Amino acid sequence: MKLKIPTEILAAYNPEKFKEDATKVIEMLHHYLVETSNGDFKTVLPKASPEEVLSKWSEIKETQDGFEMIDNLIKESQHIHNARYVGHQVTAPLPFSAVNGIVSSLLNNSTAVFEMSPVDTIMQKRVVEWMCEKIGYGSNSDGVLTSGGTIGNLTALLAARQVKGSNVWKEGIGNKKLAVLVSELSHYSIERAVAIMGMGTDSVFKLPVKPDSKIDTAQIESVFNSAVKKGYTPIALVANAASTATGCYDEFIHLADFCEGNNLWFHVDGAHGASAAVSKKYFPLLNGIERADSIVWDMHKMMLMPALVTGVLFKEGDDTYNTFLQEASYLFNNDPRSEWFNYAHRTLECTKDMMGMRPYISLKTYGEDFFEKYIDYSFDLTKYFSEAINNSSDFELAVPTESNIICFRYNDGVNNSDDLQKEVRKRILASEKFYLVQTNLFGKTYMRCTIINPLTEFDHLLELLDLIRMEVKNIVGGNK
Ligand SMILES: Cc1ncc(COP(=O)(O)O)c(C=O)c1O
């Protein structure tokens, strides 16, 4: 009997239908960009509770028109391309990189092994080479691209433990008490990675920060000694470039000196701020980073890429083979070092997105200068914003601003409580005019902005301050 492909499948794979569908979707996305960029599209985050959204989106078994769903999805989603999006560190991606995304979704070359993705594998290698060079690493350096900073930090810490903590991969953690010293302002993914690695969160020793939110280098030795006193062997120190909460950079030269003097692996979490490497003006924030054994750098934060593209870079390229010492004869034949082109040897993922092509094509199409202009613009703009806050009598900054993350609170000398900051943010979100977030620092609540959208201008930020003032007036005056 001759088995026939069902007609529905043939219709879905019809190239003409693809062209028609793609054209319609591009029209819709064009409309989204026009509305967010010309100011008519005022809504940043449409106000709706999880329950309201749940009730709008019916169960899978009820069929629905695909274009209607895409149209609603666009309308009801977070509108990151709106210039008034100043929230978490998620970028408004370069539209061209979204176009690349159509290509990767259709080609779907999994980058586990070269044979499955010959071109993207090489693009990943070229992107990693470029990142290492920008950081200031030497010719021995190497690394991988992986799915996000969280997995990136885990990948780097696994290598650190293998190098500094004996052969845990084979022998297990057993009763080894290995410790990691981390900035008290490190991203939660660091502690999570240590817990995933079976070391327990008790093995995370927090390094206190100074009032400027940078690791207090004068206190490292006592934290190190207290870990040793408790029977731990410290294996690594993790610093921030920059801290998620404040956007400030640790002082890498001092930290590298300490690590070298105490046989510690030095890891820099540069998920957000390693992109300063493309800017001549802001590169000095990274001074000494090239002495780190490993660095994580997210391109989906400050390099305008859609999620997810993360570089995990190693000063000694050989260390990238220490992360996962897995054997899998159906995928690999040889010693991993002779198969640099089979990236699954060195990444948590097996099947992986074609994540080389987006940065590779965007960097070559627009040129490095384009990205330098973006970093300079967003860091400069945040500096202007921080000056406006400093010069006002009713706002205060948490710490001096160094990058494009800024924390501030309303304080006119009378009205300055934590509850006030929280209520103001809640009302602004309800107005749908801006999206900003909040954080707790040094025991106080601050409003927090990441000026990450390349289309945000100074006037938008002044408008935000005025909106906050208006909401404070409403709250103090008892208006709903
Ligand atoms: C410093 C830092 N590290 C790691 C992460 C986690 O990165 P991802 O969200 O790509 O997993 C973040 C995210 O904000 C971050 O700011």
- pLDDT tens, 87-113? 999 999 999 999 999 999 999 998 899
Mean pLDDT (whole number) for 445-467? 97
What is the DSSP secondary-structure string of 359-424? HHHHHHHH-HHHHHHHHHHHHHHHHHHHHHHHT-SSEEESS---SSEEEEEE-SSS---HHHHHHH
Lining ligand 1 with CB less than 6 A are 89, 148-150, 187, 189, 240, 244, 269, 271-272, 298, 308, 310
For residue 222, which of 238, 236, 242, 206 has the smallest C-alpha distance?
Answer: 206
Hey, where are the domains in the chain? 8-33, 109-366, 368-476
What is the DSSP secondary-structure string of 157-178? HHHHHHHHS-SHHHH--TT--E
Lowest average pLDDT, out of 24-28, 170-174, 377-381, goes to: 170-174
Give the pLDDT confidence score for residue 479 in this predicted structure: 76
Residue 38 pLDDT more than 70? no
**Nearest ligand 1 atom, CA 88:** 14
> For residue 470, how far is its CA from the centre of ligand 1 (angstroms)?
33
183: three-class secondary structure by DSSP:
strand
The residue whose C-alpha atom lies closest to atom 4 belonging to ligand 1 is 149
DSSP letter for 59, please.
-
**Whose structure tokens read 């490993």?**
294
> For residue 227, how far is its CA from the centre of ligand 1 (angstroms)?
26
342 burial (CB, 10 Å; 0-12 / 13-18 / 19+) is buried
> For residue 83, how far is its CA from the centre of ligand 1 (angstroms)?
22
What is the DSSP secondary-structure string of 22-38? HHHHHHHHHHHHHHHHS
CA distances to 130, 188, 302, 355, 451 from 342, in Å? 19, 30, 28, 14, 37
pLDDT tens profile 195-213:
999 999 999 999 999 999 9
For residue 453, which of 381, 362, 348 has the smallest C-alpha distance?
Answer: 381
pLDDT tens profile 141-168:
999 999 999 999 999 999 999 999 988 8
**Nearest ligand 1 atom, CA 310:** 10
> For residue 243, how far is its CA from the centre of ligand 1 (angstroms)?
10
| Percent of the residues in the chain that have a pLDDT greater than 90, as a whole number | 90
Residue 324 pLDDT more than 90? no
pLDDT tens profile 222-264:
999 999 999 999 999 999 999 999 999 999 999 999 999 999 9
> For residue 1, how far is its CA from the centre of ligand 1 (angstroms)?
55
How far is 240 from 273, CA to CA, in rounded Å? 8
Residue 40 pLDDT more than 80? no
The residue whose C-alpha atom lies closest to atom 7 belonging to ligand 1 is 149
The residue whose C-alpha atom lies closest to atom 8 belonging to ligand 1 is 149
CATH class of the region 368-476: alpha beta
**Nearest ligand 1 atom, CA 300:** 10
Other CB atoms closer than 10 Å to residue 193's CB: what's the count? 23
Mean pLDDT (whole number) for 1-11? 94
Domains 109-366 and 368-476 share a fold: no
Sheet holding 233-240, edge to edge: 142-146, 310-314, 294-298, 265-269, 233-240, 178-183, 204-207
The residue whose C-alpha atom lies closest to atom 16 belonging to ligand 1 is 244
How far is 358 from 103, CA to CA, in rounded Å? 10
- Confidence at 337, pLDDT banded by 50, 70, 90: confident
Mean pLDDT (whole number) for 271-278? 98
Lowest average pLDDT, out of 1-5, 104-108, 135-139, 211-215, goes to: 1-5
For residue 455, which of 9, 39, 19 has the smallest C-alpha distance?
Answer: 39
| CATH number assigned to the domain covering 109-366 | 3.40.640.10
Strands 233-240 and 265-269, by their bridges, are: parallel
Give the pLDDT confidence score for residue 297 in this predicted structure: 98
pLDDT tens profile 49-70:
999 999 999 999 989 999 999 9
> For residue 195, how far is its CA from the centre of ligand 1 (angstroms)?
17
* Residue type present at position 241: A
Sheet holding 405-410, edge to edge: 395-397, 405-410, 444-450, 437-441
Phi, psi of 115 (to 5 degrees): -60, -30
Q: Which two tokens stand for residue 304?
A: 């305008």
pLDDT tens profile 344-381:
999 999 999 999 999 999 999 999 999 999 999 999 99
- Confidence at 309, pLDDT banded by 50, 70, 90: very high
> For residue 298, how far is its CA from the centre of ligand 1 (angstroms)?
8
Pocket test for ligand 1, best of 88, 154, 189, 246 (most atoms within 8 A of CB): 189
Residue 471 pLDDT more than 80? yes
> For residue 268, how far is its CA from the centre of ligand 1 (angstroms)?
12
> For residue 84, how far is its CA from the centre of ligand 1 (angstroms)?
22
Pocket test for ligand 1, best of 91, 150, 349, 448 (most atoms within 8 A of CB): 150
Pocket test for ligand 1, best of 301, 302, 405, 450 (most atoms within 8 A of CB): 301
CA angle 370, 277, 279 (to 5 degrees): 45
How far is 276 from 371, CA to CA, in rounded Å? 10
Query: Do residues 279 and 379 touch, judged by C-beta distance below 8 A?
Result: yes
Give the pLDDT confidence score for residue 41 in this predicted structure: 61
pLDDT tens profile 178-197:
999 999 999 999 999 999 99
> For residue 76, how far is its CA from the centre of ligand 1 (angstroms)?
25
Residue 442 pLDDT more than 70? yes
> For residue 150, how far is its CA from the centre of ligand 1 (angstroms)?
6
Output the average pLDDT for the chain. 95
For residue 157, which of 237, 214, 270, 241 has the smallest C-alpha distance?
Answer: 237
- Full-model pTM: 0.96
**Nearest ligand 1 atom, CA 241:** 1
**Nearest ligand 1 atom, CA 150:** 11
Give the pLDDT confidence score for residue 328 in this predicted structure: 64
> For residue 301, how far is its CA from the centre of ligand 1 (angstroms)?
9
Query: Do residues 300 and 90 touch, judged by C-beta distance below 8 A?
Result: yes
**Nearest ligand 1 atom, CA 307:** 10
- Work out the widest C-alpha separation in the chain, in whole angstroms: 85
